Amino acid sequence: MDRENSEFVIPTTFIESLESQAFTDFLRSVNEKKSPLLSITLPIAGIDPLAALELNPDYDEKFYWAHPENSISISAAGMVRELKATGRNRFDKITDQTVRIKNEIQAYTAIQHSMAGPLFLGGYSFADHNVGQVWKKFGAARFVLPEWMLVEIGNFHLLTLALEKNGRAADDIYQEIISRITDFLNLAGKLQHTDHNQDIQSNILCTLQAPEDHKKWVSKVEKAKKLIREEKFEKIVLARSVSFESKRELIPTVLAHKLREKYPACYNFMIQRDPQTSFIGASPERLASFNNGTFLTEGLAGSISRGKSAMEDASLAHTLLNSSKDREEHNFVVQAIDDNLKPFSDSVEHPKKPQIKKLQNVQHLFTPIRASIKEGVEIHELVEQLHPTPAVGGYPRDESVPYIQEIEQIDRGWYSAPVGWFNLKGSGEFAVAIRSALLHHNRAQLFAGCGIVADSDPEKEWNETLLKFVPLMDALNQLNIAYE
Ligand SMILES: C=C(O[C@@H]1C=C(C(=O)O)C=C[C@H]1O)C(=O)O
């Protein structure tokens, strides 16, 4: 995303923006236009978007998105409008609803910036329908236009408010805007009175994993390998889940804070549906970044542990780069992305050989991919083309993916699906929701999967899932250790 203007914004700019002729003219036009919604974007003095969420506890819907290394974070709360769809055409339905809602919003942005203006936050489920009892709350495609949203890009902070006109006079609307902005300005003051010894202990009790889970896993991998030998498909990604219980309700923002500290190179996300139900994760995998016709995605598949010394770490990376099994697993992903993007692109570019992406817990084979997209192609169309890539689905897609549910026997819900945001100018960013957990009351259900190819070893794949549980397990455990 662009990082324009960052140095030039001073905290008083928002007051100047409110007193500006442009804003006065905008307010005057409010009653002339039929659109029922207003969106106002102003630069605002800096506050950590995640802290702003914690300081605003009284919302059902909350959203957090942060990629610390890319210097972007977004928090949002409340719901003014919701875009929802289910079924095979869910991606097109979201595009259609976006076109419609565009005509309902009259937007004012005090500053020209690619992140100014309303954003829609949410994502898709892995499958076309979402059936599980808790997952159902998230739907098969769901994006929210929030009441307020804070975007932090470098040192630059934007506040976007969405409000209903409800046939009110400009004066009335102006009063509401001022009072809502004042609430935000007061947040920094509230921080000074925050209790530093907050009791956020979670007391994780146990995993609900049974010993026979390992046996079941081995037989699932063997089943997949048999299907590969029978040439039904060449690769399939199998996932498993473990659940943890805590003595108390889990606090998603506390987990999000732990994750972003440890995984600054990841997309840290939190989608809270109601105070008892959230989906959270720290994903290393970009599915889509789309801005001005440039589309960025990546192949990320093939995994190995981190070394305890520099030498061991480098040696493991070397082993991974030279493993024909992992290179095969990885190439399926790059090949599929290439094939699926080509019809929509003027060019698709990527290095011929994979590189290594190192995370705290694991290292992966990684190929960055850049495409120049043809005029008129929508971001959801591209997400639909890519999802699921063989990094979380299988290869060939149509032959392998139908077997996933049958073999796995778990409800993936939004795990390994696209989560992120998009705006009304055609830009957006989506991660693949891996290294993630569904939080419901005092229970966390963690997910992890790995690609199975002809010569996969079930034991090694089991250990790989253990590595992939680490981010969420650590975040849950740290709560325990830090406050016990
Ligand atoms: C499926 C997951 O990860 C994916 C599978 C990988 C693999 O099989 O090596 C590596 C990265 C991810 O694309 C997961 O973390 O749950």
In three-state secondary structure terms, 232 is coil
pLDDT over 90 for what percent of the chain? 75
CA nearest neighbour of 239 among 126, 364, 366: 126
> Best substitution site from 241, 304, 331, 450 to test ligand 1's pocket, by max atoms within 8 Å of Cβ?
450
> Best substitution site from 283, 297, 303, 446 to test ligand 1's pocket, by max atoms within 8 Å of Cβ?
303
Q: What is the model's pLDDT at position 53?
A: 95
Letter string b/e over residues 311-324, b meaning 16 or more CB atoms within 10 A of that residue's CB: eebeebbeebbeee
133 alpha carbon – ligand 1 mean position (Å) = 26
CB 159 within 8 A of CB 39: no
Q: What is the model's pLDDT at position 7?
A: 38
CB 43 within 8 A of CB 18: no
Give residue-wise pLDDT tens across range 85-112. 999 999 999 999 999 999 999 999 998 8
Q: What is the model's pLDDT at position 211?
A: 66
The length of the chain in residues reads 484
Give residue-wise pLDDT tens across range 374-392. 999 999 999 999 999 999 9
Residue nearest to atom 11 of ligand 1 (CA): 301
pLDDT over 70 for what percent of the chain? 91
Residue nearest to atom 4 of ligand 1 (CA): 391
ipTM: 0.99
Q: Which residues does 192 contact at the CB level (< 8 Å), separation at least 6?
A: none
Domains of the chain by start residue, with CATH: 6-192 (no CATH), 204-483 (3.60.120.10)
- Nearest atom in ligand 1 to 302's CA: 9
What is the average per-residue pLDDT within 442-463?
96
Banded pLDDT at 210 (limits 50, 70, 90)? low
Q: Per mean pLDDT, which range of 21-30, 56-65, 95-104, 202-211 is the poorest?
A: 202-211
Q: Which residues line ligand 1 (CB under 6 A)?
A: 237, 239, 285, 300-303, 364, 391-392, 416, 434-435, 448-451, 468
What is the average per-residue pLDDT within 361-380?
97
| Residue 400 pLDDT greater than 70, yes or no | yes
In three-state secondary structure terms, 323 is coil
In three-state secondary structure terms, 361 is coil
Q: Per the residue annotation, which of 54, 147, 285, 408 is the catalytic one?
A: 285
Residue bearing the bigger pLDDT, 199 or 366: 366
329 appears as a binding residue in the annotation = yes
> Best substitution site from 221, 267, 300, 328 to test ligand 1's pocket, by max atoms within 8 Å of Cβ?
300
The H or E element that residue 428 is part of is strand 428-432
Query: Cα separation of 267 and 63, whole Å?
Result: 13
Q: What is the model's pLDDT at position 316?
A: 98
Residue nearest to atom 6 of ligand 1 (CA): 301
Query: Cα separation of 428 and 271, whole Å?
Result: 17
Give residue-wise pLDDT tens across range 219-238. 999 999 999 999 999 999 99
| Residue 421 pLDDT greater than 60, yes or no | yes
208-215 contacts, C-beta under 8 A, 24 or more apart: 208/242, 208/243, 208/244, 208/245, 209/242, 209/243, 213/240, 213/242, 214/462
3-state helix vs strand vs coil in the chain, percent to 5: 35, 30, 30
Q: Is 285 a catalytic residue?
A: yes
What is the average per-residue pLDDT within 344-371?
97
Q: Is 308 a catalytic residue?
A: no
Residue bearing the bigger pLDDT, 319 or 249: 319
Hey, what's the torsion of the CAs at 105, 414, 443, 240, to 10 degrees? -170
Beta bridge partners of 65: 74, 269
Residue nearest to atom 2 of ligand 1 (CA): 449
Tell me the average pLDDT of the chain. Answer: 91
- Residue recorded with tokens 């699926």: 340
Banded pLDDT at 207 (limits 50, 70, 90)? low
- Nearest atom in ligand 1 to 432's CA: 13
451 alpha carbon – ligand 1 mean position (Å) = 7
Q: What is the model's pLDDT at position 3?
A: 39
Q: What is the model's pLDDT at position 397?
A: 98
Q: What is the model's pLDDT at position 33?
A: 83
DSSP for 288-303, written as a single string: EEEETTEEEEEEEEEE
CA triple 328-334-336, angle to 5 deg: 100
Beta bridge partners of 421: 121, 429
CB 367 within 8 A of CB 334: yes
Q: What is the model's pLDDT at position 120?
A: 98
Hey, what are 219's tokens?
A: 């037989």
Q: Per the residue annotation, which of 235, 258, 262, 357 is the catalytic one?
A: 235
Q: What is the model's pLDDT at position 89?
A: 97
Give residue-wise pLDDT tens across range 124-171. 999 999 888 999 999 999 999 999 999 999 888 999 999 999 888 888
Rank 2-11, 35-44, 49-58, 325-334 by mean pLDDT and report only the highest: 325-334
Banded pLDDT at 17 (limits 50, 70, 90)? confident
DSSP for 34-61, written as a single string: --SEEEEEEE-----HHHHHHT----S-
Q: What is the model's pLDDT at position 49?
A: 95
152 appears as a binding residue in the annotation = no
- Strands 394-395 and 105-109 turn out to be unpaired
Query: Max CA-CA distance within the chain?
Result: 71
